[in-house]
Amino acid sequence: MKTAGASLDLDRAAELFRALADPTRLAIVQAVAAAGEECVCNLTDTLESGQSRLSFHLKALKNAGLLVDRRDGRWVYYSLNPDTVDDVRRLLTSITRA
């Protein structure tokens, strides 16, 4: 479903907000945004969380398109997906102008 004047499908918007509707996931997004790119090993320390719990949340954020990953040897690094961040920004702007 599309809204008049909004370029982001409402179903897609709901998917993004569902992915963000968890305190741990918000903390992950905040930490990754602050660092630019973050390794799971650093996130476990920063968020004081176990790797399996973080992996569950990272997968949800990645599946929603909010995070992208890259592998460097045995480490996986995560960063925000700039296209999706722009989509969220546009959606919020369209909501506040409605």
Mean pLDDT calculated for residue range 12-35: 95
* Domains defined for the chain, CATH in brackets: 10-92 (1.10.10.10)
The percent of residues in the chain predicted with pLDDT above 70, rounded, is: 91
pLDDT at 37 over 50: yes
- pLDDT score recorded for residue 74: 92
Residue count of the chain: 98
42-86 per-position pLDDT tens digit? 999 999 999 999 999 999 999 999 999 999 999 999 999 999 999
| d(C-alpha 63, C-alpha 2), whole Å | 21
- pLDDT confidence of 98, banded at 50, 70, 90? low
Contacts of 47 (CB under 8 A, 6+ apart): 24, 27, 28, 31, 54
Mean pLDDT (the chain, rounded): 90
Q: What are phi and psi of 39, to 5 degrees?
A: -85, 145
